[in-house]
Amino acid sequence: PTRPYVIDEMISAKTIAARIEDLAREIHDAFEGTDKLVVVGLLRGSFVFIADLVRELDLPVEVDFLEASSYGDGTESSREVKIMKDLRGQIGGRDVLLVEDIVDTGFTLKHVVGLLKARKPAHMKTIALLNKQSRREVDINADWVGFEIPDEFVVGYGIDFAQRNRNLPYIGKVRFT
What are the catalytic residues? Answer: 104
Q: Answer yes or no whether residue 161 interacts with Mg ion by CB under 5 A.
A: no
**Shortest spacing between CB 33 and ligand PRP, in angstroms:** 30
In order, the DSSP letters of 60-95 are: -EEEEEEEEES-TTSSS--S--EEEE--SS--TTSE
* Residue ranges that bind ligand PRP, judged by CB under 6 A: 42-45, 69-71, 77, 100-109, 160
What's the closest the beta carbon of residue 77 comes to ligand PRP, in angstroms?
4
Q: Site residues for Mn ion, window 18-77 (CB under 5 A)?
A: 45
In total, the chain counts a number of residues equal to 177
Nearer to Mn ion, 45 or 156 (CB): 45
Give the nearest distance from C-beta 29 to ligand PRP in angstroms: 26
Cα(84)–Cα(43) distance, rounded to whole angstroms? 9
- Asked if residue 49 binds Mg ion (CB under 5 A), the reply is no
Strand order across the beta sheet in which 82-85 lies: 82-85, 61-69, 37-43, 95-103, 123-131, 144-148
